[in-house]
Every structure is written in C-alpha cells, then in structure tokens.
Amino acid sequence: MSMSASMRKKGWTRKQKRLAVIAGLGLVLALATTLVLVALRDQIVFFYSPSDVISREVAAGQPIRLGGLVKDGSWVRDGQNNSFVVTDGANDIAARYVGILPDLFREGQGVVAEGSLGPDGQFQASNVLAKHDENYVPKEVVEALKASGEWRPEAGQ
Amino acid sequence: MSIELGHFSLILAFAIAVLSTVGGYAYWRSGQRIALVLRQGAVLQFVLVAVAFGALIQAFVVSDFSLALAVNNSHSLKPLIFKISGVWGNHEGSMVLWILILVAFGAMVAAFGRRLPNDLMALVLATQSLLTAAFAGFTLFTSNPFERVLPAPLEGNDLNPVLQDIGLAIHPPLLYAGYVGFSICFSFAIAALISGRIDQAWARWVRPWTMLSWTFLTLGIAMGSYWAYYELGWGGWWFWDPVENASFMPWLAGTALLHSALVMEKRNALKIWTIFLSIITFSLSLLGTFLVRSGILTSVHTFASDPTRGLVILSLLALVIGGAFFLFALRASSLRQGGLFAPVSREGALILNNLFLATAVGAVLVGTLYPLVLDALTGTSISVGAPFFNLTFGALMAPLLLVLPFGPLLAWKRADIVSAAQRLMAAAALAIFVAILVSALGGVALSLAPLGLLLGFWVAFGAVAELIDRSKLGRIPLAESWRRLVGLPRTAWSTAIGHFGVGITVLGIVSTTAWETELVTTLNPGETATLAGYTIAFDSFEQVPGPNYLSDEGRFTITAPNGSTRQTMADRRTYVASGMPTTEAAIETYGFSQLYLQLGEPLENTHVVRVWHKPYITLIWLGTILMALAGVLSLTDRKVRVGAPRRAAKPVAEPAE
C-alpha cells in the first residue's frame, strides 16, 4: 500500500510517476527473487540411492528421497506397520513406513520413499511413491541402478 | 476401411493447413478474397480432423483390433464410455484430440469473426494453420494413430485401469480446450505483430477468446485435481507435481492476460505487455502439453509419455516459441503505447495483479525446471516439492489477495484509495471477526491458518461489498437498490462472482490444510474406529467380480456426529487383462466436508483402513466452479460475446467502472 501515499500528492511529473512504478516493480521482483533463492536453499530435497546415503554420510533427520528397488523377501507387514529394504544392488537401507503402501508397491520393483534417517540408521518413510503404471521405474532409480551396475532394462521397462 | 478414411482425412487436413499457412502469410494484404479462402480452409480442416477423430472412436467402439492403438489401449469387455475415452488416454490419440480442438477454434474464428478486418482474419487463420500443420505433421510422421497390425489380435491389452474412470472422459478434453484455446490469443498476437494493427478493437476481439479458454482451463484443472483426489487414493488434491505445475502456469498467465486485456480494451494501455502475455500463455500451454510428454520430466499423472519423441517435441516447441519471441523482439518497439494513468487507479491495480501473477508464474517455472537444470549441469538429483512452492507461491499470493478487493472499487485513470478503503471497511471488519471466530473454534493447528482464513474471507466479503456498493444498498430505497443490482452489467457480476470464488477456494485450501485429521488402523469386519466425531464400523468384506476386474469390497457404516448413518463401500480392484490393482476410496460428503476412506490390501483376516476427515475441502472446487461461472457470465455479456465484437455504438456511460 506504499502507493497510496504517492497518489494523493499532486504535481508528480510523468517521469516521477514512471520511476515510482518501476521502483514498485523492482521491489516485488527483488522480493520474489529472494524468496525463490531462500526456498531453493532450504526447501529442496535431495535424491539419494542407498549407496549415496552411506557414502555421503547423510545426517539423521535430514529430509531426503531414497530410491532403489524393494529387496526381494524383505517386505514385512504387521497391520499398518511396514518394513522393507531399499537396495541398489551395492548397498541396502532398511526402511519403515506406517500406513497403506501404494497399489504397485512390490518386491523387486522400483520405489521412491520420502523421509529421513532415524537415529538407529533406519529410514523412516513419511511418504512412499510408486507410480500407477506397471512398467514404471522412477528416472532417478534408473540412474542410481545404472550407476551401481544393477540396471537390467528388460526387467525394468 | 474407415480407419484409412480417417488417416487420409488427417493427411488432407495437414495439406490444407500447409497451403493456408503459405497462402495466408504471402497474400494477407489481398483483402476479402484471401480471407474468404482461409475461412473456408479453416472450416474444412475442422471437418477433416473431426472425420479422423470419429474414425478412431468408431474403431475403439467396435473393438477393431487391427488398429494398433486399439490393441494397446482397449479391451472388448470395457464399458462403452471407457472405450471412447480410451481414444485420448494415450499419446497418439490425445494428439488427434489436441489438433481437433486447435482446428475447432480456428473454425470458430472463421465462422463467428465476420466482422474482423480481412488482413487480421487472414493472419490469424494463417498462424492457426501453421500450428495445425506443425502438430498434424508431428502426429502423422512420428506418432501415427492409424497404424494397423496384421494379423489382428483377438483381444486388446486394455487401458491403464487408473484411466478407466469418468475423469478421463471429461478432464483431458476440458484441459485441452483450455490449453489450445489460448492458441487463438497467440495467433492474434502474431497477427498484430505482423500487421502492426494493435488497438482497443484488437483487445475487444481477443478478450472473449481468452475468457473462453480460461474458463475451460479452470474447469479442466479443477476436474483434474478432483480426479487425482478420488482416484489416486492418497487423499491429496494438489501435489505441486510437474504436470500440475504445467497446467497451472498457463492458468496463472491466462488470468494475468484476462486482466491486462481489460486495461488495453478500456484504456488502450499495456499493449506490448498484453501481446507478450498472449505469447507467453500459449507457450506455457505448449510446455504444459509437451514438456511432460517429452519424458524429460517425470510425474505421477503422466499417461501419454513417450521419451523417444522428446527431441522432436522440444525442437517443435523451440521453433514455435522461439519464432514468436523473435518476431516480438523485432516488432514490439514499433507498437505505440497510449493511455496515461496515475499509479493509484484501476489500471494501477490491474498492473499490480499482473505483476504478482507473472512473478508467481516465474517462481513456479523455476521450481519446476530447476531440478532439470541442476541435473544437466551437475548431475545431482533433487526434487523441489511442496515446501518450495508453498513458501514462494504463498508469499506472492498473500499480497495479491490483500489488494484484490480494492481493484474493482478504483476508478480508471485516477482513483481515491481512501474512499475505496472506506467502502471496504465493513468487509474488512467482518473478515477479521469471522477469521478470529473460526480460528478460536477450530483451534490454531497451524500458525498461518488464521492469516489464510482472513485473506479468504476478506476476498469473498470484498467481492460482496463491491456489489453492495454498486447497488447503493442502504443509501437509497431498497427497491431501487434491487433494481440497480439486477441491472448491473453481467461483467460486473462476473468480476464479483469470480473474485468471490477465489476467496472460497482459499478458504477451502486453508481449512483442509490446517484442520485435516487422519487415522490409520487395522480393522476386522465387525470392528469400529472413530475419527473427528465420526464412527466408522467395518461391516463386511467380500470378493465380487466386476465387468473387467475382480473387486475386494469392504462395506462400512459411518455414523456422523449428529447420529445419522450412511452405508458406504471402499474397494480394491484387480484388472483381468493387466493384473493391475487400483484402489477406489469411499468418499462421503457432509456439508462442505468429506470423510475419505481407503482400504488396504488384506493380510490374513485383517485390513488396514485409512480414514481422513477433510473439513470444508469441497470449497476448493466450489470456488473454481464459481470462477468458471464468472467466465461464462462475462462471455454472455452483450459487449463481449464471443465472435460478435462490435464497436460500441456510443460511448458507454459506466460511472462506477
């Protein structure tokens, strides 16, 4: 509402008016840029494969996306409590999730879990994503598997 | 046979589009003759593409499995409606739908735009034909929907079960009508840049088309949001996923365009900016349709992606968007600006609106594309999720909502902010009071919730205040006030209803975000659970066959806080052809709130049941319906009816505008 003051003052030249408008534009743009930069610094979530989690020593509590394959024979359910192991072939991370897993959550299939590492080193998933498509393997998972040499295109897509 | 007829029609439409483009650009100065030829060409393109689309529908309906597209996306057991919607539930078929809408808009301009000057008509239709040629060519050469398979299989592979829903029948056509409708604004902008004709009349022609496309896009996005909400079974209605952002950016830009075209129409100002926005809006629509489809961004909602054509798609986008901006850079400086105004005026308020909306588009664009850029530059995979968008978008929308009610109360050219503030005093006081009351009753679950409520009520009450002000309620006899209210131009009603809808949507978002409650538990048939005063009794569980799936049905009895009971059913389906499971949630609406119940996979005899209580969630979609209604209302106003733009016979006296 800073414009309200400027408006009632009579006798502004056209140049001054234009300067006021440009200053207003600049202000909003500066605000927006600051917001975006701050948000990009603090609010982005890194995607890690199990090997990344170990090699980068991800701190407990830091929100990340963990991606890989659900290890065969690792999914244990007890009511709404689920535990499973996310693997990229080279390393495994144990994960826990409370709730209903997506329909296409299956052993041997790709998965992306959002959450953070607990103090015990287990991954606490707050959200598990699996796309509603039988062939789907998330792009990040494909890359992580390629990096660890576990990518088998015929099994994935 | 009919498939070959369809194929041939599409080829013919492509050829006519190419000829119209070349002829139109070469001879646009030749007056009535070229305009007439191009108008006939536009109608012909529409008829031909409609035949092509009809051929595809027929093949799906009769389950003609000699058509590769039908084999991959249909099944003879599928209900009829899903056989039809299956035509556009895939890349190739959805391209034909996209082109059909493109040529339909072209034909509408040709049919209704008789009053357009010949040169403008020729250039608009030439540009529209250029787009048709580009995308029909792309479809024919890289994604031909008319390919046959020999020998024909006996049965199809079925459509992705998630897509076997009434949502697919409605959502893509609405969304595409919105996206593609902005092509008309784009074509008008290109025509203006080439001919140098840019005046108030231009804005009067463009604004109804913008309004029409914006209305479709609003409904399309709302419908998509509701579809994802009930079909994906996560209970969420917006994920800030790339596909959603891709549809949201043209909506934001289109909203800005609606408002800037208004300034141009009434005051002959903001010309270059309006042209720029027209180009940007359609470019974002193209980005929306194709960026996700190119496979470089992944999303939970994509159903027609094909990475192999990514490069072709990106080149096509670069050509259309890059070409338009090149032309803009060449010609924009030759357009003359007009219409002076003080910073505090209706124009000033609309500029503020445009500034915030355009900045918001920028923020969403950065958030959507940043992971791509970072991946390309450093190889680091990141995801930019809801927290980023909530922070940046929210912070940009808050001031916009704060100043929104002032806009319609300010006069053109030079306005008195104090008088506007006085007229809004009651609305502000009421909004503060109600927001405090609701926060106190609901408990402050989220620190920003009272502020969000305040903004929502402020915008909604502000819209009502505008109507009260214009009807002079309380200042003149009641009957006289009523007469004034009824006699207000439809555009005034449209403004008020549209802004009221924005407030309602904000209220829905805030209340469901702040006061949603959730329960995850294991239940056996016969057991009960409670949430937010509702008692959920798990009555029975059984397996039932559906038309093309097997269903695990859980039946529940819900007892509401007021004692009324309802029977409902949540089920999990396994589709026969693909073996794919889907979850069908049970959604019960109580007033504006909903109870959302999801059944998990059975394990031995127990079932995981997840229940959400979502207070006032339906306000989100009701608000968008009001916004769309506002669009329709504005279109029916005599002054802005689609395709019937006429110069105002006499200067219209509009004291309050």
| B374 and B284 in a common domain | yes
pLDDT above 60 for B153: yes
Rounded distance, CA B419 to CA B591, Å?
38
When CB atoms are compared, the residue of A39, A80, A103 closest to B520 is A80
Rounded distance, CA B312 to CA B106, Å?
24
Q: Is B112 in contact with B642 (CB distance < 8 Å)?
A: yes
Please report, rounded to a whole number, the percentage of residues in chain B having pLDDT higher than 90: 54
Q: Is B79 in contact with B58 (CB distance < 8 Å)?
A: no
Shortest Cα–Cα distance, A156 to chain B (Å): 15
Q: Is B190 inside a domain boundary? A: no
| B243 and B390 in a common domain | yes
Rounded distance, CA B45 to CA B478, Å?
55
What are the DSSP E strand ranges found in B266-349?
none
Does A104 contact chain B (CB < 8 Å)? yes
Both tokens assigned to B448? 């920003």
**Closest-CA residue in chain A for B419?**
A4
Least confident of B73-82, B180-189, B230-239: B230-239
CB contact under 8 Å between B396 and A32, yes or no, is yes
pLDDT digits 0-9 by tens, B258-268: 999 999 988 88
Both tokens assigned to B122? 């020729």
Length of chain A: 157
| B437 and B390 in a common domain | no
Both tokens assigned to B449? 């919730």
CB contact under 8 Å between B383 and A65, yes or no, is yes
Q: Is A46 in contact with A64 (CB distance < 8 Å)?
A: yes
| A53 and A27 in a common domain | no
Element holding B647 (H helix, E strand)? none
Higher-confidence position of A105 and B26: B26
Number of domains in chain A: 2
Number of domains in chain B: 4
Rounded distance, CA B302 to CA A83, Å?
29
Amino acid at site B594? Q
| B459 and B391 in a common domain | no
Reduced to 3 states, what is the DSSP secondary structure of residue B572?
Answer: strand
| A28 and A14 in a common domain | yes
Both tokens assigned to B222? 């709302």
Q: What is the dihedral of CA A117, A118, A122, A125, to 10 degrees?
A: -60
Shortest Cα–Cα distance, A32 to chain B (Å): 7
Q: Is B75 in contact with B577 (CB distance < 8 Å)?
A: yes
Closest CA relative to residue B127, chosen from B69, B208, B182, B205 = B182
**Closest-CA residue in chain B for A104?**
B581
Residues 391-430 (B) with a CB less than 8 A from some CB of A: 391-392, 395-396, 403, 414-415, 417-418
pLDDT digits 0-9 by tens, A71-97: 889 999 887 889 999 988 888 999 999
Q: Is B417 in contact with B344 (CB distance < 8 Å)?
A: yes
Both tokens assigned to B248? 């949201």
**Closest-CA residue in chain A for B358?**
A29
Q: Could you give the maximum distance between any two Cα atoms of chain B, in Å? A: 80
Reduced to 3 states, what is the DSSP secondary structure of residue B364?
Answer: helix
| A128 and A52 in a common domain | yes
pTM of the full structure: 0.89
Residues 33-92 (B) with a CB less than 8 A from some CB of A: none
What is the β-pairing status of strands A81-87 and A76-78? antiparallel
Q: What integer pLDDT is reported at residue A144 of this predicted model? A: 64
Tokens 């009632």: give the residue: A8
Instruction: Determine the structural domain holding residue A21 and report its residue range.
Output: 3-42
Counts for chain A of helices (H) and strands (E), in that order: 5, 7
Last residue of a domain, one of B379, B410, B441: B410
pLDDT digits 0-9 by tens, B347-398: 889 999 999 999 999 999 999 888 888 877 887 778 787 889 988 999 999 9
Both tokens assigned to A136? 């789907």
Shortest Cα–Cα distance, A8 to chain B (Å): 8
Q: Is B648 inside a domain boundary? A: no
Rounded distance, CA B137 to CA B532, Å?
56
CB contact under 8 Å between A46 and B598, yes or no, is no
Closest CA relative to residue B510, chosen from B409, B603, B615, B644 = B615
pLDDT above 50 for B654: no
Reduced to 3 states, what is the DSSP secondary structure of residue B54?
Answer: helix
CB contact under 8 Å between A134 and B578, yes or no, is yes
| A144 and A129 in a common domain | yes
Last residue of a domain, one of B392, B410, B428: B410
Sorted by sequence, the CB contacts under 8 Å of residue B275 that are 6+ apart come out as B189, B192, B193, B198, B328, B332, B335
| A102 and A51 in a common domain | yes
Sorted by sequence, the CB contacts under 8 Å of residue B11 that are 6+ apart come out as B140
| B423 and B372 in a common domain | no
SS (H, E, C) B157-192: CCCCHHHCCHHHHHHHHHHHHHHHHHHHHHHHHHHH
CB contact under 8 Å between A1 and B403, yes or no, is yes
Residues 311-340 (B) with a CB less than 8 A from some CB of A: 340
Rounded distance, CA B277 to CA B334, Å?
17
Tokens 């790339």: give the residue: B242
Sorted by sequence, the CB contacts under 8 Å of residue A38 that are 6+ apart come out as B391
Q: Which of A51, A53, A100, A145 is best to mutate for the B interface (most B CBs within 10 A)?
A: A100
| B509 and B521 in a common domain | no
Does A133 contact chain B (CB < 8 Å)? yes
CB contact under 8 Å between A132 and B598, yes or no, is no
Average pLDDT, chain B: 88
Tokens 């990096």: give the residue: A147
| A147 and A74 in a common domain | yes
Q: Is A65 in contact with A116 (CB distance < 8 Å)?
A: no
pLDDT digits 0-9 by tens, B191-245: 999 998 888 888 888 999 999 999 999 999 999 999 889 887 777 889 888 888 9
Element holding B66 (H helix, E strand)? none
pLDDT digits 0-9 by tens, B478-526: 888 899 888 888 989 999 999 999 999 999 999 999 999 999 888 888 9
Q: Is B529 in contact with B523 (CB distance < 8 Å)?
A: yes
| B391 and B267 in a common domain | yes
- Sorting pLDDT into bands at 50, 70 and 90, what band is B97? very high
| B467 and B327 in a common domain | no
Rounded distance, CA B212 to CA B643, Å?
11
When CB atoms are compared, the residue of A24, A44, A104 closest to B382 is A44
What residues in A contact B603, CB-CB < 8 Å? 77, 79
Q: Is B344 inside a domain boundary? A: yes
| A35 and A20 in a common domain | yes
Residues 5-34 (A) with a CB less than 8 A from some CB of B: 6-8, 14, 17, 20-21, 24-25, 28-29, 31-32
**Closest-CA residue in chain A for B381?**
A47
DSSP conformational letter for B443: -
Reduced to 3 states, what is the DSSP secondary structure of residue B603?
Answer: strand
| B242 and B107 in a common domain | no
Shortest Cα–Cα distance, B563 to chain A (Å): 29
CB contact under 8 Å between A44 and B370, yes or no, is yes
Reduced to 3 states, what is the DSSP secondary structure of residue A13?
Answer: coil
Using only the alpha carbons of chain B, give its radius of gyration: 26
| B568 and B524 in a common domain | yes
Sorted by sequence, the CB contacts under 8 Å of residue B81 that are 6+ apart come out as B166, B169
pLDDT above 90 for B341: no
Q: Is B647 inside a domain boundary? A: no
Closest CA relative to residue B520, chosen from B540, B542, B543, B536 = B536
Does B117 contact chain A (CB < 8 Å)? no
When CB atoms are compared, the residue of A17, A47, A134 closest to B343 is A17
Return phi, psi of residue A110, to 5°.
-70, 150
Q: Is B642 in contact with B208 (CB distance < 8 Å)?
A: yes
What is the β-pairing status of strands A123-129 and A92-98? parallel
| A78 and A21 in a common domain | no
Q: Can you tell me the mean pLDDT for B640-645?
A: 46
Q: Is B553 in contact with B133 (CB distance < 8 Å)?
A: no
Q: Which of A43, A83, A84, A116 is best to mutate for the B interface (most B CBs within 10 A)?
A: A43
| A99 and A35 in a common domain | no
| A92 and A148 in a common domain | yes
Sorted by sequence, the CB contacts under 8 Å of residue B100 that are 6+ apart come out as B46, B49, B50, B52, B53
Rounded distance, CA B166 to CA B178, Å?
19
Instruction: Determine the structural domain holding residue B150 and report its residue range.
Output: 1-164
| A112 and A88 in a common domain | yes
Sorted by sequence, the CB contacts under 8 Å of residue B212 that are 6+ apart come out as B181, B631, B635, B642
Residues of chain A with pLDDT under 70: 1-12, 130-157
